[in-house]
Amino acid sequence: MDVMTAFNGKIVFITGASSGIGEACAHSFAAAGASLLLAARRKDRLEKSATDLRRLGAPNVHLLQLDVTQPMAVAGAIAGLPEEWKAIEILINNAGLSRGLDKLYAGQIDDWEEMIDTNVKGLLYVTRAVVPGMVSRGRGHIVNIGSTAGEITYPGGAVYCATKAAERAISDGLRQDVLGTPVRVTSVDPGMVETEFSEVRFRGDTDRAAKVYQGLTPLKPADVADAILWATTRPAHVNIARISLTPIDQANSLLFNRKA
């Protein structure tokens, strides 16, 4: 398949599209000719990138201000799409975050709630709203953004890691539930990626966030977007169930090679 013309106006829906991996996916799929349905809480960030995405090759861009933690808002946004935007071909469930790095017994309950509401419930709400249409149309591909943190828990990250373990279970369960249909399900599980992730985790403490990446070369959002584009351009009879990718300086969520 020619990746540069792989989608030819087909609709790709990306949540959390205003930064990081979501924004990188928007750029990659624009260059592949996709029409982009982009959702984020920060619609102003989406609006700033829309012109560039059209210039890259997206024939159409439709923006949604959306908080995936609100089930009625999610259902209403999908049900209320203009007719020409309803036939979603690819869903990239990217919206997610981490908060804090406290020991579990000293953790902030509000942090737990936000991670669970976004990473688990938000994933479920969007999936529930979008996938029935894919099944009824007989085509579609769901890509859920997981993490190496869903494989091995690290100190101070119990709840975040649990949400990513839940993503893996949800992806595996959904793949079983759509068996017998042409709908595909992929979990893409990156290791360390240099995005706003650590700044969000540490609530804007840029110095602390910078230390996360100190002494090593992390993945870039474009690296993850490239893996997603590859997975979604395989022949229709091929389902890439899971992609795990890390920088060369990372073995898993516990082991890193930090240079002096």
Tokens of 256: 């890193």
pLDDT tens over the chain, length 260 residues: 566 667 998 999 999 999 999 999 999 999 999 999 999 999 999 999 999 999 999 999 999 999 999 999 999 999 999 999 999 999 999 999 999 999 999 999 999 999 999 999 999 999 999 999 999 999 999 999 999 999 999 999 999 999 999 999 999 999 999 999 999 999 999 999 998 877 878 788 888 878 888 999 999 999 999 999 999 999 999 999 999 999 999 999 999 999 97
Q: Are 156 and 112 in contact (CB under 8 A)?
A: no
Output b/e per residue, 197-231; b: 16+ Cβ within 10 A. Answer: bbebbbeeeeeebeebbeebebbbbebbbbbbbeb
Tokens of 14: 């990306």
What per-residue confidence (pLDDT) applies to 122? 98
What per-residue confidence (pLDDT) applies to 6? 75
What is the residue whose two structure tokens read 């953790």?
Answer: 107
* Residues belonging to the active site: 160
What per-residue confidence (pLDDT) applies to 5? 65
What per-residue confidence (pLDDT) applies to 2? 63
What per-residue confidence (pLDDT) applies to 147? 98
What per-residue confidence (pLDDT) applies to 7? 92
Measured between its terminal Cα atoms, the distance across the chain in Å is 44
DSSP state of 218: P
Which residue in 98, 72, 80 sits closest to 37, CA to CA? 80
Contacts of 100 (CB under 8 A, 6+ apart): 107, 108, 111, 156, 201, 202
Could you tell me the fold of the domain covering 3-245? Rossmann fold (3.40.50)
What per-residue confidence (pLDDT) applies to 3? 65
What per-residue confidence (pLDDT) applies to 171? 98
Dihedral over Cα of 44, 26, 87, 5: its sign: positive
Give CA–CA dist 218/50, Å, rounded.
27
Q: Are 21 and 195 in contact (CB under 8 A)?
A: yes
